[in-house]
């Protein structure tokens, strides 16, 4: 069942922030955009590619007023060990955002991404708006990494929609024309996009 247009499930857990441990909760992000993504496990294969890709582009999310938060069922201690492992050896180095430790698997379960039998989370990604509602979700199978460009595009589309009241048609990219969600006014867009 989708969480879109519903309040994001609250959470509170230990996280690795830089090289320190800190308790993080959803309340810490009130009034901000949040990109919360789940990944299966530390010390795996696709996971470090995603974590590094999001970390390397964290500044672009910050420019949009968005924070990033990663989450897996590993402990904060395993997160630290992985961060202390060089990238060329499959590590992630220090990330530009926190990594939550979902040891109880409650966060993964609350967001609907827990694979009960395997005890790990699918690759779920949620964009939570400043009011604390889920504005977007996508879930991938374990072997498919997410696309940072697409996450940024969707975040910009949601922000554009909230700011203007207009909607973003298929394949919309920032800077392109939006559409007025009205049967008559939408004809203007359709008239120039055959």
Q: Please indicate whether residue 47 is annotated as part of the active site.
A: yes
Q: Which of 5, 2, 80, 67 is nearest to 30 (CA)?
A: 67
Burial 150-162 (b: 16+ CB within 10 A, else e): ebbbbbbbbbbbe
Tokens linked to 113: 């991404």
Angle at 53 between CA 48 and CA 56, to 5 degrees: 120
Maximum C-alpha span of the chain = 58
Residue of 26, 47, 83, 122 with catalytic role = 47
* Catalytic residue set: 47
């Amino acid at each position: 069942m989708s969480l879109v247009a519903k309040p994001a499930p609250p959470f509170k857990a230990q996280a690795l922030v830089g090289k320190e441990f800190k308790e993080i909760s959803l309340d810490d992000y009130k009034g901000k955009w949040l990109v919360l993504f789940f990944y299966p496990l530390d010390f795996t294969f696709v996971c470090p590619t995603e974590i590094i890709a999001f970390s390397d582009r964290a500044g672009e999310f910050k420019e949009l007023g968005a924070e990033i938060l990663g989450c897996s069922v590993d402990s904060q201690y395993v997160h630290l060990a992985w961060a202390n492992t060089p990238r060329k050896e499959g590590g992630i180095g220090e990330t530009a955002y926190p990594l939550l430790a979902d040891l109880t698997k409650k966060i993964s379960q609350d967001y609907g991404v827990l694979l009960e039998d395997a005890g790990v989370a699918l690759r779920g990604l949620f964009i939570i708006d400043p009011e604390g509602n889920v504005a977007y979700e996508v879930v991938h199978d374990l072997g498919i990494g997410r696309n940072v460009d697409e996450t940024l595009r969707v975040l910009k589309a949601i922000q554009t929609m909230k700011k203007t009241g207009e909607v973003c048609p298929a394949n919309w990219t920032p800077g392109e024309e939006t559409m007025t969600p009205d049967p008559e006014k939408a004809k203007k867009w359709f008239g120039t996009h055959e």
